[in-house]
Amino acid sequence: MPSRPGLDPRTKIIAVIAVSAAVMSAGGGRFIAAGLLLAVGLAVWERAWRRAVVLPLFVGASAALAFWVPLVRPHPALGAVATGSFLGLRFAVALGVGMHLIATTSPTQLSAAFRAWRIPRGITVSTSVMLRFLPLVATEATAVLDAMRLRGLTGLRAMLRHPILAIERFTVPLIASSLRVGEDLAASAMLRGLGSPHRPTSMTPPRFGGRDATFALVVAALAAGSVLLSPGPA
Protein backbone atom coordinates (compact mmCIF):
# COMPACT_ATOMS: atom_id res chain seq x y z
CA MET A 1 0.00 0.00 0.00
CA PRO A 2 1.35 3.44 -0.84
CA SER A 3 1.74 5.67 2.20
CA ARG A 4 0.98 8.75 0.13
CA PRO A 5 -1.30 9.36 -2.83
CA GLY A 6 0.30 8.11 -6.02
CA LEU A 7 -0.67 8.30 -9.64
CA ASP A 8 -4.17 7.53 -10.82
CA PRO A 9 -4.36 3.78 -11.52
CA ARG A 10 -5.51 4.56 -15.06
CA THR A 11 -2.34 6.57 -15.69
CA LYS A 12 -0.26 3.63 -14.52
CA ILE A 13 -2.10 1.17 -16.76
CA ILE A 14 -1.69 3.41 -19.81
CA ALA A 15 1.99 3.88 -18.97
CA VAL A 16 2.60 0.12 -18.83
CA ILE A 17 0.85 -0.48 -22.15
CA ALA A 18 2.61 2.46 -23.82
CA VAL A 19 6.07 1.37 -22.64
CA SER A 20 5.42 -2.24 -23.67
CA ALA A 21 4.19 -1.12 -27.10
CA ALA A 22 7.16 1.22 -27.61
CA VAL A 23 9.85 -1.18 -26.45
CA MET A 24 8.47 -4.30 -28.12
CA SER A 25 7.51 -2.83 -31.48
CA ALA A 26 9.67 -2.69 -34.58
CA GLY A 27 12.64 -0.41 -33.95
CA GLY A 28 11.82 -0.33 -30.25
CA GLY A 29 15.47 -0.74 -29.23
CA ARG A 30 15.88 3.03 -29.07
CA PHE A 31 13.27 3.31 -26.29
CA ILE A 32 15.06 0.92 -23.95
CA ALA A 33 17.14 3.59 -22.18
CA ALA A 34 14.15 5.89 -21.70
CA GLY A 35 11.98 3.02 -20.46
CA LEU A 36 14.65 2.00 -17.98
CA LEU A 37 14.94 5.58 -16.71
CA LEU A 38 11.18 5.71 -16.25
CA ALA A 39 11.04 2.37 -14.43
CA VAL A 40 13.90 3.31 -12.09
CA GLY A 41 12.41 6.75 -11.50
CA LEU A 42 9.09 5.20 -10.50
CA ALA A 43 10.85 2.73 -8.21
CA VAL A 44 12.76 5.53 -6.47
CA TRP A 45 9.61 7.63 -6.15
CA GLU A 46 7.80 4.69 -4.64
CA ARG A 47 10.87 4.06 -2.41
CA ALA A 48 11.25 0.50 -3.68
CA TRP A 49 15.01 0.63 -3.30
CA ARG A 50 15.65 -2.99 -4.12
CA ARG A 51 13.94 -2.70 -7.49
CA ALA A 52 15.71 0.62 -8.17
CA VAL A 53 19.05 -1.21 -7.82
CA VAL A 54 18.29 -4.65 -9.25
CA LEU A 55 16.54 -3.51 -12.42
CA PRO A 56 19.43 -1.44 -13.86
CA LEU A 57 21.87 -4.20 -12.89
CA PHE A 58 19.82 -6.81 -14.74
CA VAL A 59 19.32 -4.59 -17.77
CA GLY A 60 23.01 -3.73 -17.76
CA ALA A 61 24.03 -7.38 -17.64
CA SER A 62 21.61 -8.25 -20.46
CA ALA A 63 22.84 -5.32 -22.52
CA ALA A 64 26.42 -6.49 -22.01
CA LEU A 65 25.48 -9.97 -23.17
CA ALA A 66 23.55 -8.61 -26.12
CA PHE A 67 26.01 -6.00 -27.41
CA TRP A 68 29.41 -6.23 -25.79
CA VAL A 69 30.18 -9.96 -25.48
CA PRO A 70 29.60 -10.76 -29.19
CA LEU A 71 32.04 -8.01 -30.16
CA VAL A 72 34.73 -9.32 -27.85
CA ARG A 73 34.25 -12.98 -28.57
CA PRO A 74 32.24 -13.75 -31.70
CA HIS A 75 30.87 -17.25 -31.48
CA PRO A 76 27.62 -18.76 -32.80
CA ALA A 77 26.54 -20.11 -29.41
CA LEU A 78 27.09 -16.70 -27.83
CA GLY A 79 25.11 -15.20 -30.69
CA ALA A 80 22.06 -17.19 -29.65
CA VAL A 81 22.51 -16.04 -26.05
CA ALA A 82 22.85 -12.45 -27.29
CA THR A 83 19.63 -12.61 -29.31
CA GLY A 84 17.83 -13.99 -26.27
CA SER A 85 19.31 -11.30 -24.03
CA PHE A 86 18.15 -8.61 -26.44
CA LEU A 87 14.59 -9.90 -26.09
CA GLY A 88 15.00 -10.32 -22.32
CA LEU A 89 16.23 -6.74 -22.09
CA ARG A 90 12.98 -5.47 -23.58
CA PHE A 91 10.94 -7.71 -21.29
CA ALA A 92 12.77 -6.38 -18.23
CA VAL A 93 12.09 -2.73 -19.09
CA ALA A 94 8.37 -3.31 -19.62
CA LEU A 95 8.23 -5.47 -16.48
CA GLY A 96 9.93 -2.71 -14.46
CA VAL A 97 7.12 -0.28 -15.23
CA GLY A 98 4.52 -3.03 -14.70
CA MET A 99 5.91 -3.77 -11.24
CA HIS A 100 5.16 -0.23 -10.17
CA LEU A 101 1.51 -0.76 -11.11
CA ILE A 102 1.35 -4.12 -9.32
CA ALA A 103 3.10 -2.84 -6.18
CA THR A 104 1.10 0.35 -5.71
CA THR A 105 -2.42 -0.54 -6.85
CA SER A 106 -4.86 -2.49 -4.69
CA PRO A 107 -7.42 -4.73 -6.40
CA THR A 108 -10.21 -2.39 -5.29
CA GLN A 109 -8.49 0.61 -6.86
CA LEU A 110 -7.93 -1.37 -10.02
CA SER A 111 -11.56 -2.40 -10.33
CA ALA A 112 -12.63 1.20 -9.60
CA ALA A 113 -10.40 2.26 -12.50
CA PHE A 114 -11.93 -0.40 -14.74
CA ARG A 115 -15.41 0.79 -13.83
CA ALA A 116 -14.44 4.35 -14.64
CA TRP A 117 -13.47 3.09 -18.10
CA ARG A 118 -16.82 1.30 -18.43
CA ILE A 119 -15.13 -2.05 -18.98
CA PRO A 120 -17.79 -4.81 -19.00
CA ARG A 121 -18.72 -6.23 -15.61
CA GLY A 122 -17.65 -9.71 -16.72
CA ILE A 123 -14.03 -8.66 -17.00
CA THR A 124 -13.98 -6.35 -13.96
CA VAL A 125 -15.45 -8.87 -11.53
CA SER A 126 -13.40 -11.84 -12.71
CA THR A 127 -10.22 -9.73 -12.63
CA SER A 128 -10.76 -8.78 -9.01
CA VAL A 129 -11.52 -12.40 -8.11
CA MET A 130 -8.32 -13.50 -9.84
CA LEU A 131 -6.18 -10.84 -8.14
CA ARG A 132 -7.65 -11.72 -4.75
CA PHE A 133 -7.09 -15.40 -5.45
CA LEU A 134 -3.55 -15.41 -6.89
CA PRO A 135 -1.74 -15.13 -3.52
CA LEU A 136 -3.97 -17.86 -2.07
CA VAL A 137 -3.08 -20.28 -4.87
CA ALA A 138 0.60 -19.41 -4.47
CA THR A 139 0.34 -20.24 -0.74
CA GLU A 140 -1.38 -23.53 -1.54
CA ALA A 141 1.37 -24.33 -4.05
CA THR A 142 4.09 -23.91 -1.42
CA ALA A 143 2.06 -26.01 1.02
CA VAL A 144 1.73 -28.82 -1.54
CA LEU A 145 5.45 -28.64 -2.32
CA ASP A 146 6.25 -28.82 1.41
CA ALA A 147 4.04 -31.87 1.80
CA MET A 148 5.76 -33.50 -1.17
CA ARG A 149 9.18 -32.74 0.29
CA LEU A 150 8.12 -34.29 3.59
CA ARG A 151 7.32 -37.52 1.77
CA GLY A 152 10.53 -37.38 -0.22
CA LEU A 153 8.76 -36.91 -3.55
CA THR A 154 10.68 -33.88 -4.76
CA GLY A 155 13.93 -35.66 -5.67
CA LEU A 156 15.10 -34.85 -9.17
CA ARG A 157 15.64 -38.50 -10.00
CA ALA A 158 12.16 -39.58 -8.93
CA MET A 159 10.68 -36.72 -10.96
CA LEU A 160 12.63 -37.67 -14.07
CA ARG A 161 11.75 -41.33 -13.75
CA HIS A 162 8.00 -40.73 -13.47
CA PRO A 163 7.39 -37.23 -14.84
CA ILE A 164 3.64 -37.69 -15.29
CA LEU A 165 3.28 -39.00 -11.75
CA ALA A 166 5.26 -36.03 -10.41
CA ILE A 167 2.98 -33.63 -12.29
CA GLU A 168 -0.06 -35.43 -10.95
CA ARG A 169 1.18 -35.33 -7.37
CA PHE A 170 1.71 -31.60 -7.56
CA THR A 171 -1.25 -30.35 -9.57
CA VAL A 172 -4.13 -32.49 -8.34
CA PRO A 173 -3.84 -31.52 -4.63
CA LEU A 174 -3.09 -27.94 -5.64
CA ILE A 175 -6.24 -27.65 -7.74
CA ALA A 176 -8.43 -29.51 -5.25
CA SER A 177 -7.38 -27.43 -2.24
CA SER A 178 -7.48 -24.17 -4.21
CA LEU A 179 -11.02 -24.91 -5.32
CA ARG A 180 -12.07 -25.61 -1.74
CA VAL A 181 -10.66 -22.26 -0.61
CA GLY A 182 -12.27 -20.70 -3.68
CA GLU A 183 -15.73 -21.90 -2.75
CA ASP A 184 -15.51 -20.14 0.61
CA LEU A 185 -14.11 -16.99 -0.92
CA ALA A 186 -16.80 -16.94 -3.60
CA ALA A 187 -19.59 -17.38 -1.08
CA SER A 188 -18.34 -14.53 1.13
CA ALA A 189 -17.71 -12.26 -1.85
CA MET A 190 -21.20 -12.85 -3.22
CA LEU A 191 -22.72 -12.08 0.17
CA ARG A 192 -20.88 -8.78 0.07
CA GLY A 193 -22.42 -7.96 -3.28
CA LEU A 194 -19.96 -9.28 -5.84
CA GLY A 195 -21.65 -9.71 -9.18
CA SER A 196 -24.62 -7.57 -8.24
CA PRO A 197 -25.96 -5.49 -11.10
CA HIS A 198 -25.59 -2.25 -9.12
CA ARG A 199 -22.63 -0.02 -9.72
CA PRO A 200 -20.54 0.01 -6.52
CA THR A 201 -19.07 3.23 -5.18
CA SER A 202 -15.41 3.54 -4.29
CA MET A 203 -13.74 4.92 -1.15
CA THR A 204 -10.96 6.38 -3.31
CA PRO A 205 -12.51 7.14 -6.69
CA PRO A 206 -9.91 7.44 -9.46
CA ARG A 207 -9.23 11.07 -10.35
CA PHE A 208 -6.64 12.53 -12.69
CA GLY A 209 -4.59 15.24 -10.99
CA GLY A 210 -1.51 17.40 -11.24
CA ARG A 211 0.75 14.41 -10.58
CA ASP A 212 -0.63 12.63 -13.63
CA ALA A 213 -0.09 15.70 -15.80
CA THR A 214 3.54 15.96 -14.63
CA PHE A 215 4.04 12.26 -15.25
CA ALA A 216 2.61 12.56 -18.78
CA LEU A 217 5.00 15.45 -19.51
CA VAL A 218 7.98 13.42 -18.26
CA VAL A 219 6.99 10.45 -20.41
CA ALA A 220 6.52 12.68 -23.47
CA ALA A 221 9.94 14.26 -22.88
CA LEU A 222 11.61 10.84 -22.55
CA ALA A 223 9.91 9.56 -25.71
CA ALA A 224 10.85 12.69 -27.70
CA GLY A 225 14.40 12.49 -26.38
CA SER A 226 14.85 8.88 -27.43
CA VAL A 227 13.48 9.55 -30.91
CA LEU A 228 15.70 12.61 -31.41
CA LEU A 229 18.85 11.10 -29.92
CA SER A 230 18.62 7.72 -31.65
CA PRO A 231 21.35 7.26 -34.27
CA GLY A 232 19.34 7.56 -37.48
CA PRO A 233 16.44 5.34 -38.46
CA ALA A 234 16.99 2.06 -36.66
Residues 150-169 binding another protein (CB under 8 A) are 164, 167-168
Identify which of residues 67 and 208 has a Cβ nearer to another protein in the complex.
67
Distance of closest approach, residue 60 Cβ to another protein, in angstroms: 15
Is 64 a residue that touches another protein (CB under 8 A)? no
Options 14, 33, 54, 81; binder of another protein; rule CB under 8 A = 81
Instruction: Count the residues in the chain.
Output: 234
Distance of closest approach, residue 144 Cβ to another protein, in angstroms: 10
Options 14, 61, 116, 125; binder of another protein; rule CB under 8 A = 125
Distance CA 40, CA 226 (A): 16
Quickly list H helices, the chain.
9-24, 32-45, 49-63, 69-72, 76-104, 107-116, 121-150, 156-161, 163-191, 210-229
Identify which of residues 147 and 186 has a Cβ nearer to another protein in the complex.
186
Residue 101 phi, psi dihedral angles, 5° rounding: -60, -45
Instruction: Single out the residue of 221, 216, 226 nearest to residue 32, CA to CA.
Output: 226
Is 101 a residue that touches another protein (CB under 8 A)? yes
Identify which of residues 34 and 129 has a Cβ nearer to another protein in the complex.
129
Options 60, 84, 209, 225; binder of another protein; rule CB under 8 A = 84
Q: Which residues of 155-165 are buried (b: 16+ CB within 10 A; e: fewer)?
A: eeeebeeeeee
Stretch that binds another protein, among 2-10, 92-100, 150-158, 209-217 (CB under 8 A): 92-100
Residues 183-222 binding another protein (CB under 8 A) are 185-186, 189-190, 194-197
Distance of closest approach, residue 213 Cβ to another protein, in angstroms: 24
Residues 20-49 binding another protein (CB under 8 A) are 20-21, 24-29
Is 174 a residue that touches another protein (CB under 8 A)? yes
Distance of closest approach, residue 210 Cβ to another protein, in angstroms: 26
Is 136 a residue that touches another protein (CB under 8 A)? yes
Could you tell me the sign of the dihedral formed by the alpha carbons of 131, 132, 137, 139, in that order?
Answer: positive
The CB density around residue 87, as the number of other CB atoms within 10 Å, is 12
The CB density around residue 140, as the number of other CB atoms within 10 Å, is 19
Identify which of residues 50 and 210 has a Cβ nearer to another protein in the complex.
50
* DSSP state, residue 28: G
* DSSP state, residue 197: S
